[in-house]
Amino acid sequence: MKVLVVVPFLSGKGGMETVLVKVWKFLNQQSSVKIEFYFPQGVKDNTFLQDLTENNVKSFNGSKIIRQVSGIAALFSKIKQTDADIVVCMSTRLISMVSKAKVILNKKFKIISWIHFSLYHEKAVNIKDLKKADYHLSISSGISRQMQEQGISSNKIFTVFNPVERHNTSHIKIKNTKNFIYMARLQYSGQKNFSALIEAAKNVNRDFVIDVYGDGSDKDKIVLEIKKLKLEKKFIFHGWNPKAWENISEGLALILCSKYEGFPTVLGESISRGLPVISTNCPTGPDDIIRSNNGILVDNANKLAEAMIDILDGNIYFEANEVKNSIVDLYEKEYFERFLKALKKIQES
Q: Which DSSP string corresponds to 12-25?
A: SSSHHHHHHHHHHH
Residues 195 and 140 in one domain: no
Q: What is the mean pLDDT of the chain?
A: 94
**169 belongs to a structural domain:** no
pLDDT at 13 > cutoff 80: no
* Cα angle value 178/291/154 (rounded, 5°): 140
Q: Using an 8 Å Cβ cutoff, are 331 and 311 in contact?
A: no
pLDDT at 170 > cutoff 90: no
The domain containing residue 186 runs over which residues? 179-327
- Kindly give, in sequence order, each residue whose CB lies less than 8 Å from that of residue 198, ignoring residues fewer than 6 positions away: 222, 225, 226, 229, 231
pLDDT at 286 > cutoff 70: yes
- Kindly give, in sequence order, each residue whose CB lies less than 8 Å from that of residue 39, ignoring residues fewer than 6 positions away: 7, 9, 10, 57
Question: 0.85 exceeded by the pTM?
Answer: yes
Residues 79 and 101 in one domain: yes
254 phi and psi angles, rounded to 5 deg: -90, 140
Q: Using an 8 Å Cβ cutoff, are 170 and 322 in contact?
A: no
Mean pLDDT of 160-175: 91
pLDDT at 21 > cutoff 70: yes
Residues 148 and 284 in one domain: no
| Number of folded domains that form the chain | 2
Q: Are strands 254-256 and 179-183 parallel, antiparallel or unpaired?
A: parallel
**10 belongs to a structural domain:** yes
286 phi and psi angles, rounded to 5 deg: -55, -35
Residues 9 and 156 in one domain: yes
What does the alpha-carbon distance between residue 264 and residue 142 come to, in Å, rounded to a whole number? 12
Mean pLDDT of 180-203: 97
**170 belongs to a structural domain:** no
Identify the CA nearest to 162 among candidates 245, 261, 10, 264: 264
Mean pLDDT of 181-199: 96
Residues 221 and 336 in one domain: no
pLDDT at 248 > cutoff 80: yes
**173 belongs to a structural domain:** no
pLDDT of residue 104: 97
pLDDT at 53 > cutoff 80: no
pLDDT one-digit tens code per residue, 114-130: 999 999 999 999 999 99
Residues 342 and 309 in one domain: no
CB-CB neighbours of 171 under 10 Å: 12
What does the alpha-carbon distance between residue 55 and residue 53 come to, in Å, rounded to a whole number? 5
Among 12-21, 100-109, 190-199, 215-224, the minimum mean pLDDT is found in 12-21
What does the alpha-carbon distance between residue 318 and residue 311 come to, in Å, rounded to a whole number? 9
**203 belongs to a structural domain:** yes
Confidence of residue 192 (pLDDT cuts 50, 70, 90): very high
Residues 339 and 287 in one domain: no
Mean pLDDT of 221-244: 96
pLDDT at 274 > cutoff 70: yes
Residues 200 and 339 in one domain: no
CATH number of the domain within which 207 lies: 3.40.50.2000
What does the alpha-carbon distance between residue 223 and residue 212 come to, in Å, rounded to a whole number? 11
**37 belongs to a structural domain:** yes
Q: Using an 8 Å Cβ cutoff, are 159 and 300 in contact?
A: no
Between the two ends of the chain, the Cα-to-Cα distance in Å is 13
What does the alpha-carbon distance between residue 203 and residue 191 come to, in Å, rounded to a whole number? 22
pLDDT one-digit tens code per residue, 81-94: 999 999 999 999 99
pLDDT at 52 > cutoff 80: no
Identify the CA nearest to 312 among candidates 259, 249, 248, 234: 234
pLDDT at 292 > cutoff 90: yes
Residues 144 and 200 in one domain: no
pLDDT at 54 > cutoff 70: no
**23 belongs to a structural domain:** yes
Among 14-18, 64-68, 222-226, 299-303, the minimum mean pLDDT is found in 14-18
**171 belongs to a structural domain:** no
What does the alpha-carbon distance between residue 1 and residue 130 come to, in Å, rounded to a whole number? 23
pLDDT of residue 50: 82
Mean pLDDT of 2-16: 90
Residues 155 and 204 in one domain: no
Residues 115 and 236 in one domain: no
Q: Using an 8 Å Cβ cutoff, are 323 and 62 in contact?
A: no
Residues 316 and 221 in one domain: yes
pLDDT at 51 > cutoff 90: no
Mean pLDDT of 247-252: 95
What does the alpha-carbon distance between residue 154 and residue 148 come to, in Å, rounded to a whole number? 6
Q: What letter does residue 30 receive in the DSSP assignment?
A: -
pLDDT of residue 15: 81
